[in-house]
Amino acid sequence: MLIVNDPCSLLIVVLATKLLEHAMNKNHLSNLRPAKKVDTSTAAADGHKPVESSVVRFSENGEAVDNEWIKKIHEALLTALDLSRVINMPADKARSQIREAATKLLNEANAPLSASTRQLVVRGVENEILGHGPLEPLLEDPTVSDILVNRFDSVYVERKGKLVETNVKFRDDDHLLTIIDRIVSHVGRRVDESSPMVDARLSDGSRVNAIIPPLALDGPAMSIRRFIRDKLSMNDLINIGSINDAMSEVLGAIVKAQLNIIVSGGTGTGKTTILNILSGYIGSTERIITIEDSAELQLQQPHVVRLETRPENIEGKGEISQRELVKNSLRMRPDRVIIGEVRGGEALDMLQAMNTGHDGSLATLHANTPRDAISRLENMISMAGLQLPMSAMRSQIASAVDVILQLERMEDGKRRITSLTEVQGMEGDIITMSEIFAFNRTGLDEVGDVTGYFSATGVVPNFHEKLKKRGSDISTSLYKPKSIGLDAA
């Protein structure tokens, strides 16, 4: 039985009940899968029995939340509140209006839920209307770096480099699709049968990829790469053991002295992270242009213009490539150009920029060794379609790039800067390089962690003179190799 105290509440509950049936039968995305029969016998107003199969644990402390109640109250609210008006209110006001109305409906429907479950249901309803539905608790969790939705009922997260399955579930494919739809429409894209793969970004900067049937065979899937607010700092990297003090000191001086740096490594080795850290050494008076496929860099300097490529639209038009952006950036009077990841022909324009007064430019690329990074650059220059002879390409590279940093994620899961290599010049047709710092691997310990130590190789780099000329007081003692046996870590 319903306990209704005032006429206004009665109206809401009656309206809610009526529209509940309508809402439950409505299936606006039904073209993607056969419509499911909905059991309306459990609707808010006429049944108090929670449906066992719909109870999911979605709070981190393991508390059961009744998904079905979230759905019921949400749908009742669709009509009880003018949601289009609520959504356009300031966030706190919208939340409090929804919270108030949802609590009232729950109370009036006499839901057989504990006080704490009620709170979670109300929270769930808020998230359905204003946020990302059941993903919201994961998005609020700062330890989550990736959220991977394999299916509506299978959601994994990555925490501290480890993948774990969560108890988070969507109700069904449509529910998941509604959230995907909200995310992508927010950035002016759409996802449907004619464009079943889409990239988007959350307002906090997290990157989203969604792919739906018919390409995804088991229903819509979504991958979210979180934008980590508390980025790692150079000190963090030293504490984690990704780099040592001497290397970090030399690196800071290299950036300040405006040497051109290429950060090389595989996917997820920490290239963007180190690029961010390095950019922190750039002075606040320098004008910086950043170019990315998907903006991830967070520069602290005041004088920054951020550019991002644009994919082609549904008609296959309107694409703006990194190459066009690099060319354009040179007309913007930059002191430094930072390219998130060089992948193609823009490598040529980048090297030309490095060679013509835009010293101190930084970029990352995908390669496994410093030598491999050079070959990648050669390949990418060829993609520019200029048919440059090999020797011209190489001398372009040798004179543009000063330093290559090699990053590696080793089998113990740790990321390390395994090499700081100076590009010195040409000997005949060959680019000469000299390693200045390296991680010397000694083996594996009993728990499977890689053992080894960072050390200078003993080579004093040619760039040392440049560092000094540009005001750095780096001591040559930093280039002394570690005396192994005494203090090898």
Ligand X SMILES: Nc1ncnc2c1ncn2[C@@H]1O[C@H](COP(=O)(O)OP(=O)(O)O)[C@@H](O)[C@H]1O
- In 292-439, where does DSSP find H-type helix? 322-329, 346-355, 370-383, 390-400
User: Smallest distance, Å, CB 267 to ligand X?
Assistant: 5
Kindly state whether residue 279 participates in binding Mg ion, applying the rule CB under 5 A: no
User: Smallest distance, Å, CB 268 to ligand X?
Assistant: 4
User: Smallest distance, Å, CB 343 to Mg ion?
Assistant: 11
Identity of the residue, 213 or 268, whose beta carbon is nearer to Mg ion in the bound complex: 268
Which of Mg ion, ligand X, none is residue 164 near (CB under 5 to 8 Å by kind)?
A: none
Identity of the residue, 27 or 227, whose beta carbon is nearer to ligand X in the bound complex: 227
| Closest to 358 (Cα-Cα) out of 336, 330, 331 | 336
Kindly state whether residue 273 participates in binding Mg ion, applying the rule CB under 5 A: no
Q: Omega into 214 within 30° of 0, i.e. cis?
A: yes
Which of ligand X, Mg ion, none is residue 269 near (CB under 5 to 8 Å by kind)?
A: ligand X
Question: For residue 113, is it left (φ>0), alpha (ψ between -120 and 50) or beta?
Answer: beta
> Looking at 272, 276, 309, 406, which residue binds Mg ion (CB under 5 A)?
272
User: Smallest distance, Å, CB 277 to Mg ion?
Assistant: 13
User: Smallest distance, Å, CB 368 to ligand X?
Assistant: 12
Residues 446/481, Cβ–Cβ less than 8 Å: no
Per-residue b or e along 405-441, where b marks 16 or more CB atoms closer than 10 Å to that residue's CB: bbbbbbeeeebbbbbbbbbbeeeeeebebebbbbbee
**Token pair listed for 206:** 């997290």
User: Smallest distance, Å, CB 246 to ligand X?
Assistant: 17
Distance CA 6, CA 76 (A): 18
Give the residues lining the site for ligand X (CB under 6 A).
145, 228, 232, 237, 240, 242, 265, 267-273, 415
- What SS3 state is found at 341? coil
Per the listing, tokens 């496994």 go with 368
Which of ligand X, Mg ion, none is residue 457 near (CB under 5 to 8 Å by kind)?
A: none
Residues 421/435, Cβ–Cβ less than 8 Å: yes
Cα–Cα distance list, 296 to 207, 228, 261 (Å): 9, 9, 18
Identity of the residue, 118 or 271, whose beta carbon is nearer to Mg ion in the bound complex: 271
User: Smallest distance, Å, CB 406 to ligand X?
Assistant: 12
Q: Which residue is nearest to ligand X (CB)?
A: 270
Which of Mg ion, ligand X, none is residue 19 near (CB under 5 to 8 Å by kind)?
A: none
| DSSP code for 330 | G
- In 207-358, where does DSSP find H-type helix? 234-240, 245-256, 271-279, 322-329, 346-355
User: Smallest distance, Å, CB 265 to Mg ion?
Assistant: 9
User: Smallest distance, Å, CB 272 to Mg ion?
Assistant: 3
Identity of the residue, 242 or 421, whose beta carbon is nearer to ligand X in the bound complex: 242
Contact segment (CB under 5 A) with Mg ion among 124-132, 141-149, 196-204, 268-276 equals: 268-276
Main-chain dihedrals φ then ψ at residue 404, nearest 5 degrees: -115, 130
Residues 125-164, one symbol each (x = binds Mg ion by CB under 5 A, - = not), give ----------------------------------------
Identity of the residue, 258 or 272, whose beta carbon is nearer to Mg ion in the bound complex: 272
User: Smallest distance, Å, CB 446 to ligand X?
Assistant: 22
The secondary structure element, H or E, covering residue 198 is: strand 197-201
Which of Mg ion, ligand X, none is residue 268 near (CB under 5 to 8 Å by kind)?
A: ligand X
Q: Which residue is nearest to Mg ion (CB)?
A: 272
User: Smallest distance, Å, CB 228 to Mg ion?
Assistant: 12
Main-chain dihedrals φ then ψ at residue 304, nearest 5 degrees: -130, 135
| DSSP code for 431 | E
How far, in whole angstroms, is CA 363 from its chain's centroid? 18
Identity of the residue, 219 or 340, whose beta carbon is nearer to ligand X in the bound complex: 340
Which of ligand X, Mg ion, none is residue 244 near (CB under 5 to 8 Å by kind)?
A: none
Identity of the residue, 41 or 267, whose beta carbon is nearer to Mg ion in the bound complex: 267
Distance CA 454, CA 449 (A): 15
Distance CA 98, CA 220 (A): 28
| Closest to 23 (Cα-Cα) out of 68, 61, 76 | 76
Contact segment (CB under 5 A) with Mg ion among 40-48, 244-252, 270-278, 311-319 equals: 270-278
Which of ligand X, Mg ion, none is residue 127 near (CB under 5 to 8 Å by kind)?
A: none
Identity of the residue, 230 or 315, whose beta carbon is nearer to ligand X in the bound complex: 230
User: Smallest distance, Å, CB 341 to Mg ion?
Assistant: 6
Residues 14-43, one symbol each (x = binds Mg ion by CB under 5 A, - = not), give ------------------------------
Which of ligand X, Mg ion, none is residue 228 near (CB under 5 to 8 Å by kind)?
A: ligand X
- What SS3 state is found at 278? helix
Residues 336/362, Cβ–Cβ less than 8 Å: yes
Residues 6+ apart with CB under 8 A from 135: 147, 149, 155, 168, 179, 224
Which of Mg ion, ligand X, none is residue 97 near (CB under 5 to 8 Å by kind)?
A: none
Which of Mg ion, ligand X, none is residue 240 near (CB under 5 to 8 Å by kind)?
A: ligand X
List contacts with Mg ion (CB under 5 A).
271-272
